Amino acid sequence: MKMKTAFFIVFLFALPAGFAGAHSFSLAAHFAKAVTAGGFTDGDEKDQGAQEKSGGPTLEDLRNLAPATNENVDGADRAAVGKEIMEGYQSGEMTDDYFADGDRQNTLAYQRMFETAGFVASTFEGHGQIVDAVNSSQMFFGPLEGVYIDKGKKSGLRLGDRFWVMHAEDTQVNHPETGDRIGVKVLVDGIIEIVEIVDNTSKARIFRSFNSIKRGYKIMPYDGRKAPYADPDKRIAPKDIDGYLISGRHESKAYGQGDIVYLNVGESAGVEPGDVFEIIDSEMVRLADGSFEPGLPKIKGKAKVIATRDISSAALIVISENVMKIGDKVRFAPERLP
């Protein structure tokens, strides 16, 4: 209610000063009617109709008036416009969704960062693959170059269809504590667009390139995904989620602010985009007898989840107090990060 009221007040006071010319008009009175009764009274409509019959400015005139000529507009016209605004609001043109529009919120990451975040999956097969290139002597392919894929009309492809180009890293991702296999890291390399098509193969143009593309790289249907929005008003539900930092988009022994890392907790554990995780020091402390035990928990940084899969999440490190590495523990933090 406060936001709606504030919007209406801004509208009223944004009316040009010339509106208060030769005719008296009580902003307070009309505003009270609008707020308490859900709109203006029928009397306002009659006044507006009478004004039109008397040859005064019409509602259309009001919309077209320049500020310098607004002294000819009386209170009935202004009341009619105010009523129109309120009716538009009440009819659904400006519902609560208007104020909660995603376009007015902040995305969790830049679009390209979101598209290229990558993920960890138990397996990765793809929908097809790149089998050759127009320039067959090349090993790597880039923007605007032509490539061939092993799918065609019989697979339902059409001209203009787009596909993600991805590949799985050769090294598998293991659990840092148990050593058990988690899966493979999959990186996003680009987007291709079908330009020629036959029964069992197609020619595609590399529409966008994030990394060098090679033969054997897999393709997945392009879904036009957009970076998710963060709703600052959404209640943060408590979650008891702990896990590990299991890999990073770029292979490194140390990660810091701005890096994309992967956690071994995902949708199946209740993780959602926007969730924040503390990254905790996993160093062991050597005791006097030569044995080791976990040291006291120390927060090394914080990361916010920008994309989720069933068994994993991609998170952007936003706060870095110390270097972070594969094997560090993570735990859910009930907060929001910009």
Question: What pLDDT band is residue 13 in, cutting at 50, 70 and 90?
Answer: very low
For β-strands 292-294 and 284-286, DSSP reports them as antiparallel
pLDDT value for 281: 86
Task: Over range 71-76, report the average pLDDT.
Answer: 50
pLDDT at 11 over 50: no
- Please give the Cα distance from 107 to 114 (Å, whole number): 10
The model's pTM? 0.68
Least confident of 118-127, 202-211, 288-297: 288-297
pLDDT at 76 over 60: no
pLDDT at 89 over 90: no
- Calculate helix-pair angle for 75-90, 2-13, nearest 10 degrees: 150
Count CA within 13 A, CB hemisphere, residue 277.
33
Q: How far apart are the first and last CA of the chain?
A: 26
* More reliable by pLDDT, 227 or 230: 227
Residues in contact with 177: Cβ distance below 8 Å, sequence separation at least 6, in sequence order: 244, 327
pLDDT value for 338: 81
pLDDT value for 68: 43
Residues in contact with 268: Cβ distance below 8 Å, sequence separation at least 6, in sequence order: 310, 311
Q: Where are the beta strands (DSSP E) in 50-92?
A: none
* More reliable by pLDDT, 321 or 102: 321
List domains and CATH numbers for the chain. Answer: 2-99 (no CATH), 111-221 (2.40.10.410), 235-333 (2.40.10.410)
pLDDT digits (tens, 9 = 90+) for 278-290: 999 877 778 888 8
